[in-house]
Chain A
Amino acid sequence: MEKKNEKELVPFVVLARYYNTTLTRKYLNRPKWVNPVPGEVKANLPGTIVSINVKEGDHVAQGQLLLIHEAMKMQNRILAPFAGTVSFIGVTPGQAIKKEHLMVTITKDNE
């Protein structure tokens, strides 16, 4: 709940012109955009890993079950986004994870 920099005038660019102004706490804490990496399967809710159905090096088909992630009392089936090889597994069964945790990485088949 710090009020850092809130009252300090800073240059702020809107459509190529800068304006000296103050920034709000909410603006400073806004979510920053991160480009998604294809094949990185991240948790879209915090929860717990129930089971893992693949291991590193496995070849998976598109839609194949990777793991079960329990969140909000629902067991969610996490599926492969496309066919490829499981190159990384970032969770273990029973592990509690936060939102955006990298669970599995799939490397796409060479076409």
Chain B
Amino acid sequence: MSTITNKILALDEKIALLQKGGGDAAISKQEASGKLTARNRIMELLDENSFHEYDLFVEHESHDFGMDKKKLPGDGVITGTGTISGQPVCIYAQDFTVAGGSLGLAHARKITKIMDHALKLKMPIIGINDSGGARIQEGVGALAGYGEIFYRNTIASGVIPQISVILGPCAGGAVYSPALTDFVFVVDQISKMFITGPNVIKTVLGEEISQEDLGGARVQAEITGNAHFFANSELECFDQIKKLISLIPANNKVKADEIEAAEPVVEKPIETIIPSDPHQPYDVREVIRTIADNSDFTEVQEMWAANIVIGFGRMGGETVGFVANQPMVLAGVLDIDSACKAARFIRYCDSFNIPIITLEDMPGYLPGVDQEHAGVIRHGAKMLYAYSEATVPKITVILRKAYGGGYIAMNSRHLGADFVFAWPTAEIAVMGPEGAANIIFAKEIKEAADPAAVREEKVQEYIDKFANPYVAASRGFIDTVIRPAETRSYILHALALSKDKEEIRPEKKHGLPPF
């Protein structure tokens, strides 16, 4: 055999050995715990044969605690490029079979290298997290590695989409890279995220809690809001990622791919969704499905702060972001969580050139000491900031209640909405009729022979006068009152008019949103 053939054979051997990761026993253990291996995850997520691996031959340089004798294939992380439905992406996947996927400096430098690559080439970066945490033998080198990743997450923020997939433990410092990225995906029973785990909490505080109850997938998706997408299996999670990638642009300089427009498939007439009794709720997602192309709506953070609904759909083939109050949950009030949820989504859409469609039906802010003390003023202001700051096309449809601060916050004309439409069922007022009558007619009601009757009369008077869209329309605060069935065509028209929308803002380093 020629030397060249020998050299190629030797390479094949090296690759085969390194691609085995932690070896058969560790792989069996990973699979027995119901998880795919890092390499299989990449293969499942990317288009067939599209994966090109980088840095398979990287080795760590640590010597202490016997590390000089330990070979760690790929240093516990697989990095490379590939495509998802033809869209190029950069990807890394921590390999739990190699030293528990622990992060040392070489491991981190592989990640930062692929992140730099994604930023330079302007394509999404996907990180699959499955790691025991910092490689303690490396000491401060591991911390340096985390810091260098966080720095790049921040620099790349708003430039390229950053997606974190939590498919195993992600604890301590490791959680902050996902927290800095745009979308976090979790899988039931597999994802575990926390700053301090159950053991430390028990030692220090004496509180006993399981990993699942502390920071499992459901907790992150429902209670903390750290996760954006929740799946029941890894494969379902990968389908969610593929769907999201198809909806968002590759970077902030381009628009999301347009596809052929499609009519909604829901047959229920839109005007029948809203109950005539103002006290009764409905699911606002039904409204979204009656106006979106194909009735297809990809909801983001479905379980957390469900009193506001956010997500992506298409209208006329173009990707749009929906923000909608959800009367079905907590009457659709704004509160700290829903304001944070909506504000971040609005900023996402604005960063990535996605028009925002706001559907409004909200009775006001959630009253409560816990809300006030936890800073609903500061957090609620995030929404005002995000809407005002956004320069993408901004379209609002007022379906029913638009009361008080919520009227202003939900992308009102006053915050720079480009188009504001209202249904004839809209009620635009400082507050609901009962509350308003109690204040305006306090004296008359108190002094009346029959206070309840007078109160009812005054409530009706207020309803007749203000519980409609025509007062706001008479001021030009809304552009027109439309029939519910015309909603889709009005939005499509507005989007078509907004194709070349440009808004110039004063030059600044950056604003100061109420973080």
Contact = CB atoms under 8 A, between A and B. Distances in A.
Given A25-B222, A30-B370, A46-B206, A17 B433 contact: yes
B368 A16 contact: no
A22 interface: yes
Contact of A14 (B222, B280, B329, B333): B333
A20 B279 contact: yes
Contacts of B278: 17
Contact of B329 (A1, A18, A24, A32): A24
A14 B213 contact: no
Contacts of B433: 17
Interface in B196-229: 204-207, 213, 218, 222-223
Nearest to A48: B206
Nearest to A26: B223
A68 B244 CA distance: 54
Choose among A9, A22, A33 the residue with the greatest number of B CB atoms under 10 Å from its CB: A22
A17 B370 contact: no
B363 A16 contact: no
B327 A19 contact: yes
A37 interface: no
Given A19-B281, A33-B369, A12 B331 contact: yes
Give the interface size bracket for A toward B.
20 to 34
A23 B204 CA distance: 33
Interface in A1-58: 1, 9, 11-12, 14-27, 30-33, 46
Interface string B299-321: 00000001100000000000000
Interface string B320-335: 0000000111111100
Contacts of B331: 12, 14, 19, 21
A33 B370 contact: yes
A77 interface: no
A24 B331 CA distance: 11
Choose among A9, A21, A33 the residue with the greatest number of B CB atoms under 10 Å from its CB: A21
A72 B204 contact: yes
Contacts of B281: 9, 19-22
B435 interface: yes
B142 to A, nearest CB: 23
Nearest to A6: B329
B223 A16 contact: no
A96 interface: yes
Given A26-B337, A33-B370, A15 B431 contact: yes
Contacts of A72: 204
A106 B373 CA distance: 26
A33 B369 CA distance: 6
Given A17-B432, A20-B279, A27-B330, A46 B364 contact: no
Nearest to B306: A24
A26 B205 CA distance: 22
Nearest to A99: B205
A62 B331 CA distance: 48
Contacts of A11: 279
Nearest to B307: A24
Contacts of A27: 330
Contacts of B206: 46, 96, 98
Interface string B59-89: 0000000000000000000000000000000
Choose among B213, B330, B373 the residue with the greatest number of A CB atoms under 10 Å from its CB: B330
Contacts of A96: 206
Contacts of B498: none
Contacts of A23: 329-330
A19 B307 contact: no
B480 interface: no
A32 B207 CA distance: 20
A12 B403 CA distance: 16
A19 B279 contact: yes
A30 B368 CA distance: 10
Nearest to B331: A19
B421 to A, nearest CB: 23
A1 to B, nearest CB: 7
Contacts of A19: 279, 281, 327, 331-332, 363
Contact of B364 (A15, A20, A25, A33): A15
A17 B435 contact: yes
A24 B223 CA distance: 10
Choose among A11, A27, A98 the residue with the greatest number of B CB atoms under 10 Å from its CB: A27
Contacts of A17: 278-279, 363, 432-435
A11 B331 CA distance: 9
B367 interface: yes
Interface in B208-266: 213, 218, 222-223
B438 A16 contact: yes
A14 B331 CA distance: 8
B366 interface: yes
Nearest to A23: B330
A1 B368 CA distance: 24
Contacts of B327: 19, 21
Interface of A: 1, 9, 11-12, 14-27, 30-33, 46, 72, 96, 98
4 nearest A-B pairs in the assembled complex, by CB-CB distance:
A16-B435, A19-B331, A33-B369, A17-B432
6 contacts: A15-B432, A15-B434, A15-B435, A16-B431, A19-B327, A22-B330
Given A15-B363, A33-B370, A33-B373, 5 more contacts: A14-B331, A14-B367, A14-B432, A17-B434, A20-B279
